[in-house]
Amino acid sequence: MTKRPKDDDRGADQVFELEAGVRQLKEDLSADATVNQAIGMMLALGRVTPDKGQAVLHDVAQHTHLKPARVAELVVLWARTGEIPAEIRAELEEALDRHGPTQIPGSLPPESA
């Protein structure tokens, strides 16, 4: 039994859709990895929980009108190069102040120092 041209077209369309889906999944995984790396930096810099680290990224994104994934890219790039746009850095510092701990773990409370 020979395939009709319409069957071949449908098969090609399905392959194209599947390839597009695979590309999108790869992009999503890469973006997730970058966001997770940036959250890890928030944990180290601000001594916050992972949930608060994610909240910091979202706060910075909201205040700078960027997507959280873009903020994460800039934060990870900052870790590698030491450079970050001044506006992002200022918002990051403010967000870490808002979400960060009132005391650094392991330090003495302010009244005992």
* Predicted confidence band of residue 101 (pLDDT cuts 50, 70, 90): confident
The answer to whether residue 105 sits within a structural domain is: no
In a domain, 8, yes or no: no
Output the six-digit token pair for 36.
Answer: 């997770």
The DSSP result for 42-91, as a single string, is HHHHH---HHHHHHHHHHHHHHHT--HHHHHHHHHHHHHHS---HHHHHH
Question: Is residue 105 scored above 70 in pLDDT?
Answer: no
Range of the domain at 68: 27-100
Q: How many domains does the chain have?
A: 1
Residues with Cβ within 8 Å of residue 48, at least 6 apart in sequence: 42, 56, 96, 99, 100, 101
Can you say whether the dihedral through the CA atoms of 18, 23, 27, 29 is positive or negative?
positive
Coil, strand or helix at 21 = helix
Residue 2 pLDDT: 56
> What pTM was computed for the model?
0.66
For residue 35, is it within any domain? yes
Q: What is the pLDDT of residues 51-93, one digit of tens each?
A: 999 999 999 999 999 999 999 999 999 999 999 999 999 999 9
Q: How many residues does the chain have?
A: 113
Residue 109 belongs to some domain of the structure: no
Is a pLDDT exceeding 60 seen at residue 4? no
pLDDT in tens, 11-49: 788 888 888 887 877 776 666 889 999 999 999 988 899
Q: Is 111 inside a domain boundary?
A: no
